Structure 1
Amino acid sequence: MTDQPTASAEIPLEDLVGSWLTVPDIAERWGIPLSAVRKLIEDRELLSLRIGERRVVAVPTQFIEEEVFRHLRGTFTVLADGGLDDEEILRWLFTPDETLRVSGTPVDNLAAGFKTEVRRRAMEQAF
C-alpha cells in the first residue's frame, strides 16, 4: 500500500480540498433541482463532506468540472473496494503526488484525461 505523505495527512481535509460548493450552488450551476444533486451524492456520482461552522453538505468544486465528473464514479468505486471510506477517498484524490503524469493531485490528473493511470494507482491502494 502506498502511504500518504505525513504533511498532507495533518492538513484538515476541508483545507486540503480548498474550494467547495454547496448543494444549492451545484444545482444553480448545473440548472438542475436540489433533489437531483442530492441523488447524485446518494448514488455516489459525487462525494460530499459536511464543512464549515454550520456543517453544510458540500462537494469539492473540481468534481463538478465535466472532464473530472465523468471519471469520478468508477474511481470512487475502485478506492472504496480498496477499503477507503469517503473521507479517505477525498484525501487521496486531493493529496499531491509528484509521481503522477501531471504534477499535482490525482483529481488534477483526472481533469487532464489520465483516468487509467489514476485508477491504476487507486487499485494499488488495495494492496
Structure 2
Amino acid sequence: MTDHDATTDPSTDPSVDRSAELDALVGEWLSLPDFAEALGTDVGRARSIVQERRVVGMRRGERTTFQVPARFLVPLHLIEPANAKQPSGDGRLGVLASLQGTIAVLTDAGFRDEEIIGWLFRTEEELGESPIDALVKGRKAHVRRIAQSLA
C-alpha cells in the first residue's frame, strides 16, 4: 500500500492534481471494508489481497482513506475471462485474475500505485480502449506487452 505523507504540502504534491483526474477515470472506489464486503470476506483478508498486490489502491477522499477501484472486481465467473464459466447468478464478485501480473509488470517498470491506476484506466491507443477494459475482455497478453514496453 502507498501511504500519503501527512507532511506533504498539497500545493506542491503532484498527486493532488491527479486525484480529480483519477476520480473521473475510475468512477467508483471502494474503501477497504466495502472491498471486503463485496468479496464476501473480512477486512483482514481484504488487506492481505492488497499486500499481495493482487490489487492496488490509494489514499483518497475527504478522510484520505485507502480505497481500491471497484472495477478491479468482476463477477466470479469472469475472474479469468479466457476461461469464463456460466454465471452463477448469485452476484458474487472476485478480483480480476490478470490484474496481479499486470500490476507486477508496471511496478517493475517503476510505476507507483497511483500511476498504475491511471495507466489501467486511461485509453491506450494501441488497445483502442483502457487496459482494464482489455483485461476484462481477456486480452492479458496484449496489455502486458504494452506494459513491458513502458520500462
TM bracket, shorter-chain basis: 0.7 to 0.9
Q: For the Cα contact (< 8 Å) 1:14–1:51, is it kept in 2?
A: no
- Residue matched to 1:52: 61
SS, match of residue 97 in structure 2 = helix
Aligned pair partner of 1:107 in 129, 132, 142: 132
2: CA distance between counterparts of 1:33 and 1:91? 27
- After TM superposition, what 4+ stretches of structure 1 lie above 3 angstroms from structure 2? none
Aligned pair partner of 2:120 in 88, 93, 104: 93
2: CA distance between counterparts of 1:56 and 1:90? 16
- What amino acid sits opposite 1:62 in the alignment? R
Cα distance, 1:57–1:11 mapped onto 2, change above 3 Å:
closer
Aligned pair partner of 1:62 in 62, 71, 75: 71
Per-residue CA shift, 1:3-29, capped at 9, x if unaligned? xxxxxx796222221111111112112
How many residue pairs match? The answer is 116
What is the root-mean-square deviation of aligned Cα atoms in Å? 1.8
Can you give the 5+ residue segments of structure 1 that lack an aligned partner in the other structure? 1-8
- What amino acid sits opposite 1:110 in the alignment? L
- Residue matched to 2:23: 14
TM-score (norm 2): 0.71
Q: Which moved more, 1:49-58 or 1:109-118?
A: 49-58
Per-residue CA shift, 1:9-65, capped at 9, x if unaligned? 796222221111111112112111110001111111110111211111111111011
The structure where helix makes up a greater share of residues is 1
2: CA distance between counterparts of 1:81 and 1:34? 27
